[in-house]
Amino acid sequence: MIEPSNPRIAALDRMLELALLINHDLTTSLAAQGLSTSRVSVLWEVLRRGPVTQRELADALHVTARNMTGLVDGLVAGQLVTREPHPSDRRATLVTLTPKGTTAAQQLVRDQSAFADLLFADLPPAELGTFASVLDHVVNRLNEHGLTIAAARKEEG
Amino acid sequence: MIEPSNPRIAALDRMLELALLINHDLTTSLAAQGLSTSRVSVLWEVLRRGPVTQRELADALHVTARNMTGLVDGLVAGQLVTREPHPSDRRATLVTLTPKGTTAAQQLVRDQSAFADLLFADLPPAELGTFASVLDHVVNRLNEHGLTIAAARKEEG
DNA sequence: TATTGTTATACTCTATAACTATA
DNA sequence: TATAGTTATAGAGTATAACAATA
């Protein structure tokens, strides 16, 4: 009944649709391996950062500390990570990849790379460049200017 | 520890990061209104299509029929939609917006428009055009060629 | 006092399987 | 036989609040 009427709205629409599609694909693909997107995002974050506290992970992934406890529990049960004592803060634990976890995380990174290659395979480099720079720009606007939907709503007037 | 090493991977990375950010913002913004992203996506779909069966909604949103039952239950409880009898198929129900639901859905559309305007405000039209066409291209590749992460994995070799 | 992570509790989303009513 | 939607059941993600141990 209502169609996007300006190019900005159309772009956001398309972006959200794509995110939904990719997320759905990711979810089903991972479920087949006994993983979930949330746990994988933890796994990736640990691969990227090395041993890291649950607090840092919770902040990075925008979830509560309680939630992170559950996610790490799941990964520990799957023997993908261990909880190691923090050397200088006895309250904290360092979430650390096991060999199995490292292998799994690296495989996931390879999968994502192969996927990216397929996705953008027949795209001229110039277009990919513009695409990436726009994404960069938008992420910065979101991060640095505290841009939110709530803020947008206030400006509607 | 591992950084994206080619532009395609970097672009996908950035895209997924952006989707995560926007999704988180959406979730918290909607929670304040007693809604969820899943229920809102149903609401939007009904606004776009008009009265529609749960089966169609389930297919459009890539969820199971059982799941759609629960989502519609929630919207009915919030008096945003009603279940009306299908005129020619007595098995099916037509999910239909109430006046309250119509108002809410239209407000959500306005919010998203305002957000899109803020997000892309200072972007040259040409760049926005390229950005949108790349998104279009990628969505088509996903939809039409059955491109999936699983498929990408097989091609890793 | 503030912070890290946990236990307690509750709600939402998601899925599979079995079932009813209808096509 | 096939389809639309529900009931039954189960698991995962998320959040708030209260708490213990430590900073």
CB contact under 8 A, A155 and B9: no
**Chain A contact set for B132 (CB, 8 A):** 7, 10-11, 14
Its pTM stands at 0.84
How near does any CA of chain B get to the CA of A1, in Å? 5
Angle at A135 between CA A133 and CA A140, to 5 degrees: 95
Q: Is B111 on the interface with A (CB under 8 A)?
A: yes
Q: What percent of chain B has pLDDT over 70?
A: 94
What pLDDT does B5 receive? 65
User: A134 CB near a chain B CB, below 8 Å?
Assistant: yes
Which residue in chain A is spatially nearest to B63 when comparing CA positions?
A24
Min Cα–Cα distance to chain A from B35, Å: 14
In angstroms, what separates the C-alpha of A27 from chain B's closest C-alpha?
10
pLDDT the model gives residue A98: 97
**Mean pLDDT, to the nearest integer, of A3-7?**
67
The Cα B79–Cα B17 span in angstroms is: 34
Encoded amino acid at B107, one letter = Q
B8 with A137: Cβ contact below 8 A? no
Q: What is the pLDDT of residue B47?
A: 96
A23 touches chain B (CB under 8 A): yes
Return the pLDDT at B144: 74
Tokens at B138, concatenated: 């990628």
- Phi and psi (nearest 5°) for B96? -130, 135
Contacts of A114 in chain B (CB under 8 A): 152-153, 155-156
Paired sense of beta strands A52-53 and B93-97, if any: unpaired
Residue B78 CA: distances (Å) to CA of A9, A67, A149, B35: 28, 27, 22, 9
How far apart CA B153 and CA A108 sit, in angstroms, is: 9
Cβ–Cβ gap B152/A118 under 8 Å: yes
Question: Residue A5's pLDDT band (boundaries 50, 70, 90)?
Answer: low
Cα–Cα separations (whole angstroms), residue B105 to A53, B41, B110 = 41, 10, 9
pLDDT, residue B154, reads: 74
- Distance from CA(A55) to C1'(C1), angstroms, rounded: 19
Residue type, B21: L
B7 touches chain A (CB under 8 A): yes
pLDDT at B50 over 80: yes
pLDDT in tens, A121-153: 889 999 999 999 999 988 888 877 777 777 777
Tell me the average pLDDT of chain B.
88
Instruction: Return the top range by mean pLDDT from A114-118, B80-84, B135-139.
Output: B80-84
CA atoms within 13 A on the CB side of A54: 21
